[in-house]
Amino acid sequence: MEQLLLLIFLPLVGAIITAFAGKSAKIVSTVFSVVSLVLALVIAGNFIPNASTQFEVNLPWIADLGINFHAGIDGISMLVVLLTNLLVPIIILSSYNHEYKNPAAFYALILFMQCGLLLVFTALDAFLFYIGWEAALIPIYFICAIWGGKDRIRINMKFFVYTIAGSLFMLMGIIYLYLQNPAHNFDIQAFYALNLDSAQQGWIFWAFFIAFAIKMPVFPFHTWQPDTYTAAPTQGTMLLSGIMLKMGIYGVIRWLLPIVPAGVHDWGQIAIILSIIGIVYASLIAFTQKDAKRLVAYSSIAHVGLISAGIFAFNQQGMQGAMVQMLSHGINVVGLFFVLDIIFSRVKTNKIEELGGIAKVAPQLALTFLIIVLGTVALPGTNGFIGEFLLLIGVYNYGIWAAAIAGLTIIFGAVYMLRMYQNVMLGETNSLTITFTDIKGTEKLVLYTICALIIVLGVYPKPILHLTEASVQHLLEQVNQKLNTVN
Amino acid sequence: MSTQVFYFVATLSIIFSLMVIFAKNPIHSVLYLILTFFTFTVHYVLLNAQFLAVVNFIVYMGAIMVLFLFVLMLLNLNKETEPSKSPLIKIVGVIAGGCLVVTLIGSLKSASITSPLILKNPGLGLVENLGKELFGPFLLPFELSSLLLLAAMVGAVLLSKRDEVEA
Amino acid sequence: MTIEQLIWLVPLLPFLGFVINGLGRNSLSKGLVGIIGSGVIFASFIISVVIFFSLQGDTQKSHEVFLFDWISAGALHIPLSFLVDPLSSIMLLIITGIGFLIHLYSTSYMHGDAGFGKFFSYLNLFVFFMLLLVLGSNYIVMFIGWEGVGLCSYLLIGFWYTNSAYASAAKKAFVMNRIGDLGFLLGVFLIFTTFGSVEFAKVFPQAANMLPGNDTLVLITILLFIGACGKSAQLPLFTWLPDAMAGPTPVSALIHAATMVTAGIYMIARSSVLFDLAPLTQHIIAVVGAATALIAAIIALTQTDIKKVLAYSTVSQLGYMFLGLGVGAYTGSFFHVLTHAFFKALLFLGAGSVIHAMHHEQDMRHMGGLRKKLPVTFLTMLIGTIAIAGLPPFSGFFSKDEILAHAFQASPILWGIGVLTAFLTAFYMFRMMFLTFSGKYRGTHHEESHLHESPTAMTFPLIILAVLAAIGGVINLPHVFGGNEWLAHWLSGAGVAQHELELSHSTEYSLMGVSVAAAVIALLYAYTRYVKGARVPVADEAPRSALAKLSYNKFYLDEIYDFLITKPLDALSKFFYRIIDNKFIDGIVNGLGWSTNEASKGIRLLQSGNVGFYIFMMVFGIIALLAYTFYYI
Amino acid sequence: MNIIITISITAFIVLYAGLFKANKALLPLTVVGLLTALGFTFCAWNGNAVHFGMMQTDNFALAFSGICIIGTLLIFLLTQNYFHAKSDNIAEYYTLILFALAGMIMMVSYKNMAMLFVGLEIMSVSLYILAGIRKKDFASNEASLKYFLMGAFSTGFLLFGITLIYGATGSFDLDKIQAYLVNSQTISPIFYPGVILMMIGLSFKVGAAPFHFWTPDVYEGAPSLITTFMSTVVKTAGFAAFLRLFAGALAPLHDFWVAPLMVIVCLTLFIGNVTALFQKNFKRMLAYSSISHAGYLLFSLIVLTKNSENNVLVYAAAYTFASIIAFAVLILVKQKTGSDSFESFNGLAKRNPLIALCLTVAMLSLAGIPLTAGFIGKYLMFLNVMTEYKTLLVAFAILNALVGFYYYFRVIVAMWFKDGAETELSAPAQYKVVLLVSVAITLILGIYPAIILNLI
Amino acid sequence: MENLFTQAAGVPLNHYIYLSAIIFSIGVIGVLTRRNAIVIFMSVELMLNAVNLLLTAFSVHNNDPSGQVFVFFIMALAAAEVAVGLAIIVMVYRNTKSVDINVLNRLKW
């Protein structure tokens, strides 16, 4: 129990200390994030991979409103917690070649956000979940809006209002559930046990789904995303795409499926259709993007679409695939954005057409970038394959046409990713890239770590699958059981 | 007899009050207002609220209206200096007011308290009665209304005084 | 040492080679890289030979070797395990054997290249994935290899990545392969949902009990065939293969002739149980194969790039193999895979030798008369040409005729196409030979003085391959020639059962006669045209007859694809991005903001600053509320 | 009772201190007086005493009195040098503010309409004057006159309402009115318009649409400190009065007055938020935002639960402290730059990060972001309405809250993301105290609201 | 003055209500149609007086003196308001040389 509290609040402590650390904020935040990672690994080590919730904490918080500080970790949580605590140090390290003005605030906000994210991923109380949900949003808003690029103010405002719009409707849904709950509290188990009719479940489904869909984002709620990713500072983009996006996915798994199975049963079709449209649509758009960051942003929409489709397909393969893919996508997309950041920091552009020939002058960057690209296009032997493969099987079990259309992602992904790789890295150097220097120092460390993770997870994904298997299975059984009693 | 008096005075009240708002010259308005208030005093007398009648006469007609007149004179507004609003606004204003009358009366109409007003206690409006009430249950607001008057006094002085500090 | 103990070494060694060469690409000397790169493959070859022979002496023909659990989710369990049986063992030999020769060849061919270490590591990696492909005991492990070789193909085609045309060719290859891969993957999913497993050992026995023509099986096999189309360059997905010639020539020999492109045939042969039960699919395969063979052959007629001719020839031969598969000649096709591996690798390496000598000039219009300068190359290539032309007794004759015989049994039309293709094949191959080696040298004088025969490291593999191409036919010598069809027997141990040939010997003889006659006529025609007539193909811009134009421009297939697929998709992409995404969806989102803003602009005007107006509004409010009261009472 | 007496006496003392030119002593005297009053508030806790049948100091009254007194105290701390620049009659201003406070105490604890009326008028008359204290300033004049004219006008309606209720029930006493509603078989038809007219009168005081028109103009025109007072403490008191009548005495008629109230709430939310969106002036934006908050506050009347009153308390507290921060910073910025437009906030984060941080917290609280008091307030309001599943209303409120984010974040954007003058902006110590105390309260209420949830 | 009218007419209470409502509305119309701040203020006084009259009538009807006491409070208020209001008007006049409310539209939007 102490471990979990420590896990959640260590980043917060780190954030506060970092805020006053002045020039050494970079180091302080690195230390804290690494310690958090170690702590997460220790917890993962002590974690018994079964369906039970472990390290549970249940403290009264706002008793009059039935709100408790109730948190715990099961397999699914463990995975995202690991992802968060793994990516935050990587993201912080990736900022080492930047000199942000006012670094104390920058790093403090990152750690603050980490705390919010961990709250989201461990909360077993809907109110706590909501608090974490918003608490993660504020820092990223500031990170993006203070240190972002062109037109950042308008873009981030849109992002902020858009996402919070979704979450407010979710809050409405949460309140509804709370009122329906005879015990008048926000406990997740109590929510699971509710007996709502299918009309009620339908409403709750939409209230929650829109919040999650905006966060992920699922077509057609995605238009904030490319702009935001493009305008945000790279570390912000990494946080957004690497971790924050998983909040939506996690939310669906933890808060949508088990609470309103009948709603999912009735409306999940639409969710799948939207997800699949999103896959093809975003992939197609990625074809002709001129800005590499924007291209990756659209690719992210496509990938998330597949994850979402896999979840709503609602079977073991799809679910497990979503688990692996959450991790994989987090790692890969952070890698992609980091490479683009390295390029941008050297030549001040991410325009695909202006680049080229970098492989010739920076072979190590080219190699790591290639591995990351391959991971993204789901080549067997990389982490991306495990996830996409399982997801596609999951979708396939739902419907062969769904899988055939969703499967286009493996073709389209190759098209736009390789196009980008070719135009950026291959060909002859031009006046811009001729002076390009290869990666060094922390850049190397980060990229090699990412590449190692990509390959290791691709070759031996079993630990991850094992970690979540029992929880996923439990979830499926629970939902199916509930679904049977409703019908 | 008093019934007819009431209707007569009521008509006068309405006519005078209309004159108040339609008189072009503000001075005339004030004078009509005084007349209106006089008719109100008559109403109070008809209702056997003698004390109020007196107070109304003294406070309103005496003090307040004189103050109005005084200010008008002070500001030299005794001419028809007021640029009148456009006829349209006036008409709309009258219509709006008419609607208000209609709705107000409409919503009150169903009250159907048609029973004649009967003075159950003829001494009701006498000073003695009112004094008991005022210094009994209503002592607290009465005392506290001193704050109101004091605040008004301080404020009036403050506002009309010329300040040196302000540039 | 049992097979189980040895087998994992076969892929591991190339992998080690990849790792060592990859990490040491900048530090190791070229000699060492070459030795490691070739040595690991040779070691693998030796082990493969050992395995092959121990399998031959073994009563148990198939061995499954479990390594570790890879993916498991719900009912889906995918172990990383190998299957050693006659089919895979013979593939091992081809891959490691020819692979070794080509590695050896490359040590010399690529010696001058700055990316020498990288090249060898890629090549090793390719061998590793190819071995994984053939060794996998289930479709998913096969798929790892399947995609892995695609990756290596991508890397090696784009080996000289500074040339953007080459890089584009690499991308094209990868993407077209991926199109097929999606089909493959969907097929695998369907297998999983139908049979509950993706293990060969579990799928095939179940499938064998199903009725022929079962819809599911038809669908599965069609999807798998789509996969094979991509990898093995069949219509409509073959256009990547000619472009793939952008890679170094040894790559073309190894990947795009001998091994990777035959993965599709291997896969269908492996799944022959399924295909046998899906006659509809078989018809489709036969038709697609025949069409591919013919079209590619027609295109090859007018090509002037020596490697392009070989590339189209490869496509055409692959078409042959699919024709064979389609008519049930699994062994025949596989036999052709073998012989084709020999002679096409030989031809490519020979072409490489020519190109090497010509300092990377590939246009045959600038060649000619090289016979004397490159005698070994000429001789070995001639053997290869004869083999591919199907002249007895060289290997190509036997494998080709086995396919043709089966085709005739299935449909005389298919056979006719086959023979026509054989005729064209013989013609363009000899055209190539004559243009390259006979007549006068057509290049500059300066170049001529530098012409020389290639070093031993390059000629040695040529000689070995030439020998194989010449005598390789013996391994499946048909009964009509007194053979015992060893290969067919051997493969039946792996469950690959060829349809019985029910033709009389006399029919077989006459069929062979026709095809041999066709080849000879083609040879003579080519001779009169290019040796006697000393014709040289016209320049690119020169006017051509309509048919020649069609052939020369590859039936405008690239242009058609560009017009039908690439351009519309790009247009769609731009439409989605600019109109739907930016204008419509984002327009709605922004429009909400905008309209709120506009509403704000308008509504704030209510606050006119005029007390009179304020009071008006208040009075309206009051009237409304009172009216409500009026109605409420 | 003691509270009013203390405040009144403080007012007199301050007035006399002014006569003797003891300007330095004014603030300490006031603070002492208010702290004493606050002490009495604590002492009277749970006493539920009734004074002369006119005033009831139940916990509701005391809690709101407490907030009003604390708010006034903080505002007094902001007066440092504020009036000195404007007039030499500082004592009078102190006195007027204290009078207004006394009026508000009456408003939050009245048990008889007469008390409500007198309290309301003491407060209003004081405010009419305070709004106009910058005598040479046109805006101030205009604000004062507008406020006065419209205030007097609305008082007429309030009185008409009181009269009608009196006519129906024969009493001004809240208990008797409630008893009348509960006991009598038929309710006199003149009672209904009475209720509506009272609602109109009180809506005017709290600035609910369509009776809100005075708010932006007066808030903008009045001196910032007075605006602070009006938009925080005064508003809170207004709501307490509203609540005392409608959630108390008139609760049995809920079915009748909830429909017009709902219309008022929706109009208020919509007009407040949407109009605020386009403002260029921070102060005026705050005025519109105060209108929109009035809309949220009225939520508690739409569904009457046992928590309605407490919800208003929480919301009002959150709103009051956040607004005080906002106005305090506004005063500082205006003193420095002479402008209260959004542009004058540009780059504030660089000029003084502490102030910028405080203002950010305030804006987040006003916008209702979790971990600030504003969120808890909004949450309670939504929860309150959701208990009867008025989801459409909540959805409408959510849409309005979204609009709210835009304009609250504009100042955040200006402070943090835009470059402005590089001059340092220093804050006097008293301002710092006020800011930090308010921020602390805002955050504490946001993170651990349990301390205030069951106050009433 | 005692028992001036012992039976307080026989006027129905309704008519008092109507009369007050009408006078009140006339006051409102005055506020709506006039621009002179002082006249507007006078119209407001008219409204207050209408209320006073009604209160007295109810007081008599209910036989309860508290209504008339309330009138007393209203008068006190009126006095206070007049003092403050006229002071404000004078102050405004000093600055703008006008009591026209339409001049006061500096604060808007």
Contact yes or no for C470/C397 (Cβ under 8 A): no
The 10s digit of each residue's pLDDT in E23-74 is 999 999 999 888 888 889 999 999 999 999 999 988 888 888 889 999 989 9
Q: Which of residues 17-76 of B touch C (CB under 8 A)?
A: none
Cβ-defined contact of A317 to C76 (cutoff 8 Å): yes
Q: What is the pLDDT of residue A195?
A: 85
Burial group, residue D254, by CB count within 10 angstroms (0-12, 13-18, 19+): middle
Contact yes or no for A413/A379 (Cβ under 8 A): no
Looking at the structure, do residues C478 and C410 belong to the same domain, yes or no?
yes
Mean pLDDT, residues C232-237: 85
The 10s digit of each residue's pLDDT in C30-50 is 888 888 888 998 999 999 998
Nearest CA in chain B to E36: B82
Parse chain E into domains and list their residue ranges.
Answer: 11-97
Lowest mean pLDDT among A176-185, B115-124, D177-186: B115-124
- Physical contact, A and E (3 or more Cβ pairs within 8 A): no
Q: Which candidate from B26, B98, B111 shows the least CB-CB separation from E36? A: B26
Mean pLDDT, residues C410-436: 87
Q: Which residues, including other chains, have CB under 8 Å from residue C528's CB and lie 6 or more apart?
A: none
Query: Distance between the two ends of chain B, CA-based, in angstroms?
Result: 64
What distance in Å separates the CA atoms of residue D234 and residue D148, rounded to the nearest whole number? 15
A-C interface: how many C-beta pairs under 8 angstroms?
A: 144
The 10s digit of each residue's pLDDT in A372-428 is 999 999 888 899 999 999 999 999 988 888 998 998 988 899 989 998 998 888 888
Phi-psi sector, C498: left (phi>0), alpha (psi -120 to 50), beta: beta
Cβ-defined contact of C612 to E105 (cutoff 8 Å): no
Cβ-defined contact of A465 to C71 (cutoff 8 Å): yes
The 10s digit of each residue's pLDDT in A426-471 is 888 888 888 888 888 888 899 999 999 999 998 888 888 888 888 9
Q: What is the pLDDT of residue C479?
A: 76
Mean pLDDT, residues C283-300: 90
Range of the domain at D59: 2-453
- Physical contact, B and D (3 or more Cβ pairs within 8 A): yes
Specify if C37 maps to a domain.
no
Q: Chains with ≥3 Cβ pairs under 8 A against B?
A: C, D, E
Query: E strands, C218-294, where?
Result: none
pLDDT at B83 over 70: no
Closest to C186 measured CA to CA, from A406, D357, D355: A406
**CA dist list (Å): D184 to D163, D170, D178, D321:** 19, 13, 10, 43
Q: Which residues, including other chains, have CB under 8 Å from residue C626's CB and lie 6 or more apart?
A: B100, B103, B104, B106, B107, D193, D196
Q: What is the pLDDT of residue D84?
A: 67
Q: What is the pLDDT of residue B167?
A: 41
pLDDT at D359 over 90: yes
Cβ-defined contact of D139 to E107 (cutoff 8 Å): yes
Q: What is the DSSP letter of A222?
A: -
Contact yes or no for A236/A159 (Cβ under 8 A): no
Mean pLDDT, residues D255-276: 91
Number of domains in chain D: 1
Instruction: Give the ipTM of the model, two decimals please.
Output: 0.90
The 10s digit of each residue's pLDDT in D277-286 is 888 889 999 9
B-D interface: how many C-beta pairs under 8 angstroms?
A: 99
Residues C566, C568, C571, C576, CA torsion sign: negative
The 10s digit of each residue's pLDDT in D6-37 is 999 999 999 888 888 777 888 889 999 999 99
> Could you give the dihedral angle defined by the CA atoms of residues C484, C487, C493 and C496, in that order, rounded to the nearest 10 degrees?
-110
- Per-residue pLDDT band for A487 (boundaries 50, 70, 90) equals low
Q: What is the crossing angle of helices D138-169 and E13-33, to 10°?
A: 170
Cβ-defined contact of D217 to C607 (cutoff 8 Å): yes
Which of C515, C537, C559 is the last residue before a domain boundary? Answer: C537
Cβ-defined contact of B93 to C616 (cutoff 8 Å): yes
- Per-residue pLDDT band for B67 (boundaries 50, 70, 90) equals confident
Q: Which candidate from C605, C609, C616 shows the least CB-CB separation from E107? A: C609
Q: How many CB atoms lie within 10 A of CB A75?
A: 27
CA distance C626 to chain B (A): 6
Inform me whether the C-beta atom of residue B97 falls under 8 Å from chain C C-beta atoms.
Answer: yes
The 10s digit of each residue's pLDDT in C502-522 is 777 788 888 888 888 888 888
Q: What is the pLDDT of residue A432?
A: 82
Cβ-defined contact of E80 to D125 (cutoff 8 Å): yes
Cβ-defined contact of A380 to C148 (cutoff 8 Å): yes
- Per-residue pLDDT band for E6 (boundaries 50, 70, 90) equals low
What distance in Å separates the CA atoms of residue D233 and residue D151, rounded to the nearest whole number? 17
Calculate the CA C613 to chain-centre distance: 82
Q: Chains with ≥3 Cβ pairs under 8 A against A?
A: C, D
Q: Which residues, including other chains, have CB under 8 Å from residue A326's CB and lie 6 or more apart?
A: A79, A80, A83, A246, A249, A250, A307, A387
Domains (range + CATH), chain B? 1-82 (1.20.120.1200)
Number of domains in chain A: 1
Q: How many CB atoms lie within 10 A of CB C266?
A: 26
Q: What is the pLDDT of residue A486?
A: 64
Q: What is the pLDDT of residue A328?
A: 92
Contact yes or no for B26/E39 (Cβ under 8 A): yes
Q: What is the DSSP letter of D420?
A: -
Q: Which of residues 569-608 of C touch D (CB under 8 A)?
A: 593, 596-597, 599-601, 603-604, 606-607
Range of the domain at C389: 285-537
Q: Which of residues 11-30 of D touch B (CB under 8 A)?
A: 11, 15
Q: Which of residues 102-161 of A touch C (CB under 8 A)?
A: 158, 161
- In chain C, residues with a C-beta closer than 8 Å to the C-beta of E104 are 609, 611
Q: What is the DSSP letter of C481?
A: G
Looking at the structure, do residues C404 and C521 belong to the same domain, yes or no?
yes
Q: What is the pLDDT of residue B164?
A: 57
Cβ-defined contact of B110 to C633 (cutoff 8 Å): yes
Which of C476, C511, C537 is the last residue before a domain boundary? Answer: C537
Phi-psi sector, C266: left (phi>0), alpha (psi -120 to 50), beta: alpha
Q: What is the pLDDT of residue B166?
A: 46
The 10s digit of each residue's pLDDT in C596-606 is 888 888 888 88
Which of C480, C515, C537 is the last residue before a domain boundary? Answer: C537
**CA dist list (Å): A91 to A84, A303, A383:** 10, 21, 19
Q: What is the DSSP letter of A62?
A: E
Dihedrals phi, psi of D248, to nearest 5 degrees: -100, -90
Q: What is the pLDDT of residue E2?
A: 45
Cβ-defined contact of B163 to D193 (cutoff 8 Å): no
pTM of the model: 0.91
% of residues, chain C, pLDDT over 70: 100
- Side chain identity at A318, as an amino acid letter? G
Contact yes or no for E62/E54 (Cβ under 8 A): no
Q: What is the DSSP letter of D281?
A: B
pLDDT at D123 over 50: yes
The CATH class for the domain spanning E11-97 reads mainly alpha
> Could you give the dihedral angle defined by the CA atoms of residues C407, C408, C413 and C418, in that order, rounded to the nearest 10 degrees?
60
Burial group, residue C57, by CB count within 10 angstroms (0-12, 13-18, 19+): exposed
Inform me whether the C-beta atom of residue D274 falls under 8 Å from chain E C-beta atoms.
Answer: no
Specify if C398 maps to a domain.
yes
Contact yes or no for D214/D286 (Cβ under 8 A): no
Looking at the structure, do residues C507 and C595 belong to the same domain, yes or no?
no
Mean pLDDT, residues A356-380: 89
pLDDT at C78 over 50: yes
Q: What is the pLDDT of residue E1?
A: 43
Contact yes or no for D164/B113 (Cβ under 8 A): no
- Physical contact, C and B (3 or more Cβ pairs within 8 A): yes
C-E interface: how many C-beta pairs under 8 angstroms?
A: 28
A51's tokens:
């369906």
pLDDT at D434 over 80: yes
The 10s digit of each residue's pLDDT in A119-132 is 999 999 999 999 99
Q: Which residues, including other chains, have CB under 8 Å from residue B2's CB and lie 6 or more apart?
A: B46, E5, E7, E8, E9, E10, E11
pLDDT at C279 over 90: no
Mean pLDDT, residues A289-299: 91
Q: Which of residues 7-36 of A touch C (CB under 8 A)?
A: none
CA R_g for chain D: 21
% of residues, chain D, pLDDT over 90: 56
Q: Which of residues 594-623 of C touch B (CB under 8 A)?
A: 612, 616, 619-620, 622-623
**Which of B7, B42, B71, B114 best probes binding to E when mutated, by most E CB atoms within 10 angstroms?**
B71
What distance in Å separates the CA atoms of residue E74 and residue D107, rounded to the nearest whole number? 17
CA distance E27 to chain D (A): 9
- Among the residues of C358-444, which ranges form H helices? 375-389, 395-410, 412-437
Q: What is the pLDDT of residue B79?
A: 64
- In chain B, residues with a C-beta closer than 8 Å to the C-beta of C619 are 96-97, 100
Looking at the structure, do residues C411 and C509 belong to the same domain, yes or no?
yes
Cβ-defined contact of E28 to C610 (cutoff 8 Å): no
Mean pLDDT, residues E9-31: 86
Number of domains in chain C: 2
The 10s digit of each residue's pLDDT in D34-69 is 999 999 998 988 888 888 888 999 999 999 999 999
